[in-house]
Amino acid sequence: MRSCSAPLARPESGNENRTSQRSAALHLRIFLAIRQDCPYCQGVRRYTVALSALLLSCGVDVAQTAVLDTSVAAAPECSAPATLTAPTTEQFGVNDPLASSSLVLASYGAQAGPGVYLIARDSFRLYLNGVMIAESNAARTPIFVPLTLLPGDNEIAVVASAAQGTPAVLLQIDELLQSYFSDASWKVSTNPEGDWSLATYDDSSWSAATDFGAIGSLPGCDPMSVFPADSTAHWIGPSQPAPNAVLRTKISIRPSGFGASTRGGEGATPVLVTSVAELNAALTDKDTPAVVLVPEGLLDLRPTGTEVVQQSTCPTPCANDATKILYTVLVSGMTCPVALVDQPRDDRRIEVGSNKTIVGLGRGAALRGASFDLGSSNNVIMRNLAIFDVNPTMIEAGDAITLTAPTEVWVDHCTFKWISDGFIDAGAGTNAVTVSWSHYDGLNDYACTGHHPRASQFEDAVGTIHHSFWDHVDTHAPTVAHSTSRVHLFDNYTSDDGDYAVEASCGAQVLLEASTFENVVHPTSKTTCSDVPPALGLLRAPTGSNLYRDDVGTNRSDGADAPEPEDAVFTPPYAYSLDPPATAWVNVESRAGAGGPWAVPLSLD
């Protein structure tokens, strides 16, 4: 602040000076008398008092500067008894019904799964993409709504009502990837026009919500239970008292990387399926957009009765444990030195057409025996699915997800366990794929080593794999082969791998960044194969980018120890940011896979 020695303008006469001082003093007394109980006015009041005192002491006319700032927000009053109220006009949705939505579950409570925590000073109505999914006139009483958000744009709107004073709400939205909190980034209007509850509504002309402070700032209003103790949500509302206000925010759930353009069946009316027949019917159409919802919990797709087929296999005792027999399906001209043995297959092949979104609700859908084949379909999203128990006693008897040659695929927050062949295998021509926040769980007592032997293979395929967790696998984490392959790996975590993790073979190009390895025999491997002409895989792991924790062995090149690979490979054609691997691996371990931090354990019982 300027001092009195600065060349300030002064009135020409003493009478004018005395008049200015009296005017300034009057304005100062008015300001000091207003909102003595407002904690949000204190900073402005202190500044104005100091400024006025200084200017008065300097003999400056402050009549035009020491004025009441009417833009100061009127903080919600929480000391008075709660008054129940509700909107009374169509403008604020008075006739909107409380809808039954498949996205709202009743299978878990607060802090046990994804959803919305919400409390209002008086009353509220909660909307998701044009549908009212919750309401309450229980003033100052927190609630939890178990809710699943879909890939795409999710518009959250809240009508806050107050019998008197300023309405205010406090929200936390927990999603698989992260939590979202009410703050000044939300939009607010006390006089909204049009259908403000829709995701397509333009609220660019609305004001920013007024931030009334974090939990603890409004004694008498703050939640005493239900809300997570570490919530950083802030009370928000309009800047001035109003009987009703609408607050909005948008949560976009979309892929990044090579598969960033994938939209699945976005825009289609979601359909809930509860049986094998319904799932098949919803997915097999080759072109019609569809959003398919699979209920939380187990959906057993294994064949039964006459559907069960016998598979001829070659039985081979495990070299490290003769009590275990490895049953291999013969492919590509393989022969067996002993008599073949039939084994019952427990998988069901599910063909997926183009323009499809498949989402498990809540803490994830557990699809037992499902083997998804995307063929050459385009534009497919698979999210929050646990795919497990696909012939785990056999080799070469089905993938969790087969990408024959699709384009635009996003696999997110999926778990793979007890799978016969690849968790995700991609063939020649596969393009624009992103796999994110997924868990490759290779722990398998049927396997010779107890670990899955081939988690994922990309051959002549282009894709991004980020924030994914390879756990208890031996090799193929992932393997990338052949000269047209371009695979970008970042912020992944590999733990307990008894052989190599990331492999580049036959001229494939792999960029490996910000990833963490722990208890891995060989974090990287480059190999030459018999392509014409033969070619060594190209792999770049920028110096200092990746983190090697405990019990990590050497990098390899054609079977020999080698330095960390620094080959010249492709530059990703998209923008991305890297999380520090020292913290990224912790988040990946916690949030990767179906259900994220609320994952429900899988069982073969």
What pLDDT, on the 0 to 100 scale, is given for residue 434? 99
Query: Which amino acid is residue 482, in one-letter code?
Result: H
Q: What is the C-alpha radius of gyration for the chain, rounded to an integer number of angstroms?
A: 31
Q: Please say whether the beta carbons of 318 and 325 come within 8 A.
A: yes
Query: Which amino acid is residue 174, in one-letter code?
Result: D
440, β-bridge pairs: 416, 470
SS3 label, residue 279? helix
Q: What are phi and psi of 68, to 5 degrees?
A: -70, 125
Query: Which amino acid is residue 293, in one-letter code?
Result: L
What is the CA 106 to chain-centroid distance, rounded? 21
Q: What is the dihedral of CA 426, 431, 432, 438, to 10 degrees?
A: 0
Task: Give dist(CA 208, CA 234) in Å, integer.
Answer: 13
> 444 vs 327, 393, 451, 590, CA distance in Å?
14, 9, 6, 21
SS3 label, residue 579? coil
181, β-bridge pairs: 172
pLDDT digits (tens, 9 = 90+) for 264-295: 999 999 999 999 999 999 998 889 999 999 99
Q: Please say whether the beta carbons of 416 and 441 come within 8 A.
A: yes
Question: Any idea which residue has 């499902």 for tokens?
Answer: 370
Q: Please say whether the beta carbons of 465 and 489 come within 8 A.
A: yes
Burial of 138 (0-12, 13-18, 19+ CB in 10 A): middle
> 268 vs 276, 288, 338, 355, CA distance in Å?
21, 9, 53, 10
Q: Where exactly are the structural domains of the chain?
A: 1-72, 90-253, 310-344, 346-376+385-598
Burial of 552 (0-12, 13-18, 19+ CB in 10 A): buried
525, β-bridge pairs: 503, 556
What pLDDT, on the 0 to 100 scale, is given for residue 119? 95
Q: Please say whether the beta carbons of 258 and 432 come within 8 A.
A: yes
Q: Which two tokens stand for residue 304?
A: 């039964």
Residue in 568, 437, 461, 547 with CA at minimum distance from that of residue 501: 547
Q: Which two tokens stand for residue 36?
A: 């003595």
Q: What are phi and psi of 104, to 5 degrees?
A: -100, 120
150: left (phi over 0), alpha (psi -120 to 50) or beta: beta
Task: Give dist(CA 248, CA 481) in Å, integer.
Answer: 47
Task: Give dist(CA 368, CA 335) in Å, integer.
Answer: 31
Q: Please say whether the beta carbons of 81 and 335 come within 8 A.
A: no
What is the CA 303 to chain-centroid distance, rounded? 33
> 485 vs 423, 524, 534, CA distance in Å?
18, 17, 15
What pLDDT, on the 0 to 100 scale, is given for residue 421? 96
Q: Integer distance in angstroms from the first to the last C-alpha of the chain? A: 74
Q: Which two tokens stand for residue 340?
A: 């073949």
Query: Which amino acid is residue 91, in one-letter code?
Result: Q
Q: What are phi and psi of 345, to 5 degrees?
A: -90, 135
Question: Any idea which residue has 């000076």 for tokens?
Answer: 17
Q: Please say whether the beta carbons of 536 and 558 come within 8 A.
A: yes
Neighbours of 137 (CB within 10 A): 15
pLDDT digits (tens, 9 = 90+) for 81-131: 777 777 878 999 998 999 999 999 999 999 999 999 999 999 999 999 999
Consecutive H or E run containing 28 = helix 14-33
CATH number of 90-253: 2.60.120
What pLDDT, on the 0 to 100 scale, is given for residue 306? 94
Instruction: For the chain, give percent helix, strand, coil, nearest 5.
Output: 10, 35, 50
Q: Which fold has domain 346-376+385-598?
A: Pectate Lyase C-like (2.160.20)
584: left (phi over 0), alpha (psi -120 to 50) or beta: alpha
Task: Give dist(CA 169, CA 303) in Å, integer.
Answer: 50
Counting as low any pLDDT under 50, the low residues of the chain are 1-71
What pLDDT, on the 0 to 100 scale, is given for residue 72? 56
**String of DSSP letters for 150-165:** PSEEEEEEEEEE-SSS
Q: Please say whether the beta carbons of 161 and 86 come within 8 A.
A: yes
Query: Which amino acid is residue 586, in one-letter code?
Result: V
Task: Give dist(CA 157, CA 446) in Å, integer.
Answer: 50
Task: Give dist(CA 469, CA 440) in Å, integer.
Answer: 6
Task: Give dist(CA 605, CA 87) in Å, integer.
Answer: 52
**String of DSSP letters for 379-392:** EEEEESEEEEEEST
Q: Length of the chain in residues, anyone?
A: 605
Residue in 471, 406, 408, 463 with CA at minimum distance from that of residue 438: 471
> Model's pTM, two decimal places?
0.88
Q: What are phi and psi of 441, to 5 degrees?
A: -95, 105
Task: Report the greatest alpha carbon distance in the chain.
Answer: 117
Which residues 6+ apart lie within 8 Å of 7 measured at CB? none
